């Protein structure tokens, strides 16, 4: 097997062996196929290349303590992809095809599956794209669905360390009544330039406000926001943030741990009142922020306001407890009382 160092592996486009594919043509999905060819052949007029008619999902498979391999809540990702595809006017795989192709992807790339005990997992990327050659701005059902995977460790290089984020005064992520709550590739394309500027200034994350009024916290470029106030888990209610499966799970975990959960609008000034603030998502898991700055101009020097939570690199007690509980369920160390872990057989 591969000589991957599971303790230091980051989050990257690590090429495995097999891609699983299906094509929607003549009104139906073709039976899933396996290929070791990592190159797709597309017509240069394919919709995806011009009009970004594409969406994706991100979910993880874990090797549990007893050796079982499970995928975390794939039914939720299947449903979210259907919702995004509907927004794009595209066909989407049904839950059975989606989950079976995710399972096949894991089973056909087992030599890259991280073993239990290293904090690593297999990240699965189901991707759906419009491949019909056309110039007209009308939907066409001709689509390609593929599931690829990559062994993955910590998104920011190490787990359970705190980082810093910046609220950019001159960039928005999503338009009001726009595509913010869908997992479109195009939403991410718009964050590449502000990410570059933020990274150059030493911030790891971008935290976006609601673009209509810029009064409320929306989400990070990569993940949802949550804050901890006493015994309460607070997360934004907004129709322009991605409905995160990790966040949904953490809200349940928080309740199970006896915490209150509030999903509501979070005025920017309330950032001053949280004891802990974090990012959550499949890739970032729970990544606490020790500092969130507001910059009127992202590339400029001026910091309008700065909110701090604990010390750089340190992680607060509630984020630690939530992290241990969520990852404990995923790794099979704690009981899966909600039936979130789907066994790969
Ligand atoms: N928000 C954005 C913009 C994301 O890209 C992601 C990642 O998928 C999330 C939130 C978290 O969603 P999930 O927990 O389902 O991965
Ligand atoms: C995920 O968490 O699965 C995502 O798709 C976020 C991405 C920025 C890595």
Q: Mean pLDDT across the chain, nearest whole number? A: 96
Distance, CA 59 to ligand 2 centroid (Å)?
9
Distance, CA 134 to ligand 1 centroid (Å)?
31
Structure confidence at residue 12 (pLDDT): 93
**Is the CB of residue 53 less than 8 Å from the CB of residue 125?**
no
Atom 7 in ligand 2: residue holding the nearest Cα: 222
Structure confidence at residue 1 (pLDDT): 54
**Is the CB of residue 122 less than 8 Å from the CB of residue 152?**
yes
Task: Say whether 259 sits in a helix, a strand or coil.
Answer: coil
What pTM, to 2 d.p., does this model score?
0.98
* Token pair recorded at residue 223: 């993940």
Look at residue 34 and tell me whether its pLDDT is greater than 70. Answer: yes
Which ligand number lies closest to the CA of residue 242?
A: 1
If one residue of 11, 56, 57, 58 were mutated to test the ligand 1 pocket, choosing by the most ligand atoms within 8 A of its CB, it would be: 58
Question: Distance between CA atoms of 281 and 194, rounded to whole angstroms?
Answer: 20
Check pocket membership of 244 for ligand 2, CB cut-off 6 A: no
Mean pLDDT within 280-300? 97
Is beta strand 163-168 parallel, antiparallel or unpaired with respect to 285-295? parallel
19-152, what's its fold?
A: D-amino Acid Aminotransferase; Chain A, domain 1 (3.30.470)
**What sign for the dihedral angle of Cα 218, 219, 220, 225?**
positive
Distance, CA 50 to ligand 1 centroid (Å)?
25
pLDDT band for position 329 (50/70/90)?
Answer: very high
Catalytic-role residue among 183, 193, 314, 324: 183
> Which ligand 2 atom minimizes the distance to the CA of 11?
9
Q: Is 177 in the active site? A: no
Distance, CA 122 to ligand 2 centroid (Å)?
13
**Is the CB of residue 61 less than 8 Å from the CB of residue 124?**
yes
Structure confidence at residue 313 (pLDDT): 87
Atom 9 in ligand 1: residue holding the nearest Cα: 223
Q: What is the CA radius of gyration of the chain?
A: 20
Check pocket membership of 282 for ligand 2, CB cut-off 6 A: yes
Check if CATH label 3.20.10.10 holds for domain 163-330.
Answer: yes
Do 19-152 and 163-330 fold alike per CATH? Answer: no
What single-letter DSSP state applies at residue 31? P
Structure confidence at residue 157 (pLDDT): 87
Query: pLDDT tens digits for 238-261?
Result: 999 999 999 999 999 999 999 999
Per-domain boundaries in the chain: 19-152, 163-330
By percentage, how much of the chain surpasses pLDDT 90? 96
Among 94, 122, 101, residue whose Cα is nearest residue 35: 101
Structure confidence at residue 308 (pLDDT): 97
How many Cα neighbours within 13 Å face the side chain of 48?
22
Structure confidence at residue 301 (pLDDT): 96
> Which ligand 1 atom minimizes the distance to the CA of 57?
8
Distance, CA 183 to ligand 2 centroid (Å)?
10
Query: pLDDT tens digits for 125-175?
Result: 999 999 999 999 999 999 999 999 999 999 998 888 999 999 999 999 999
Atom 5 in ligand 2: residue holding the nearest Cα: 58
Is beta strand 69-72 parallel, antiparallel or unpaired with respect to 54-56? unpaired
pLDDT band for position 68 (50/70/90)?
Answer: very high
């Amino acid at each position: 097997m591969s000589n991957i160092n599971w303790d230091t592996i980051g989050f990257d486009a690590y090429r495995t062996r097999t891609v699983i594919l299906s094509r929607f043509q003549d009104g139906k999905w073709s039976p899933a196929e396996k290929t070791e060819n990592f190159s797709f052949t597309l017509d240069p007029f394919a919709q995806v290349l011009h009009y970004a008619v594409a969406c994706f999902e991100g979910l993880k498979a874990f090797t549990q303590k007893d050796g079982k391999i499970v995928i975390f809540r794939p039914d939720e990702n299947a449903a979210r992809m259907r919702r995004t595809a509907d927004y794009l006017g595209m066909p989407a795989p049904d839950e059975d095809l989606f989950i079976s192709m995710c399972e096949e992807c894991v089973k056909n790339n087992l030599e890259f599956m991280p073993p239990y005990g290293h904090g690593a997992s297999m990240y699965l990327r189901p991707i759906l794209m419009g491949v019909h050659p056309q110039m007209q701005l009308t939907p066409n059902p001709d689509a390609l669905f593929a599931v690829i995977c990559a062994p993955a460790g910590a998104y920011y290089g190490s787990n359970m360390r705190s980082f810093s984020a910046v609220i950019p005064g001159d960039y928005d992520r999503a338009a009001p009544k726009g595509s913010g709550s869908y997992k479109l590739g195009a939403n991410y394309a718009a964050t590449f330039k502000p990410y570059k500027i933020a990274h150059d200034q030493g911030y790891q994350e971008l935290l976006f406000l609601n673009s209509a009024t810029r009064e409320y916290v929306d989400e990070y470029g990569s993940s949802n926001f949550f804050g901890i106030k006493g015994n309460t888990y607070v997360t934004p209610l907004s129709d322009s943030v991605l409905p995160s499966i990790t966040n949904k799970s953490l809200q349940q975990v928080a309740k199970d741990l006896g915490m209150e959960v509030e999903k509501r609008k979070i005025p920017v000034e309330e950032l001053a009142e949280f004891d802990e603030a974090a990012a959550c998502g499949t890739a970032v898991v729970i990544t606490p922020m020790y500092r969130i700055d507001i910059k009127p101009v992202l590339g400029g020097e001026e910091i309008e306001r700065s909110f701090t939570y604990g010390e750089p690199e340190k992680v607060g007690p509630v984020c630690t407890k939530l992290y241990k509980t969520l990852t404990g369920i995923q790794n099979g160390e704690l009981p899966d009382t909600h039936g979130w872990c789907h066994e790969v057989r």
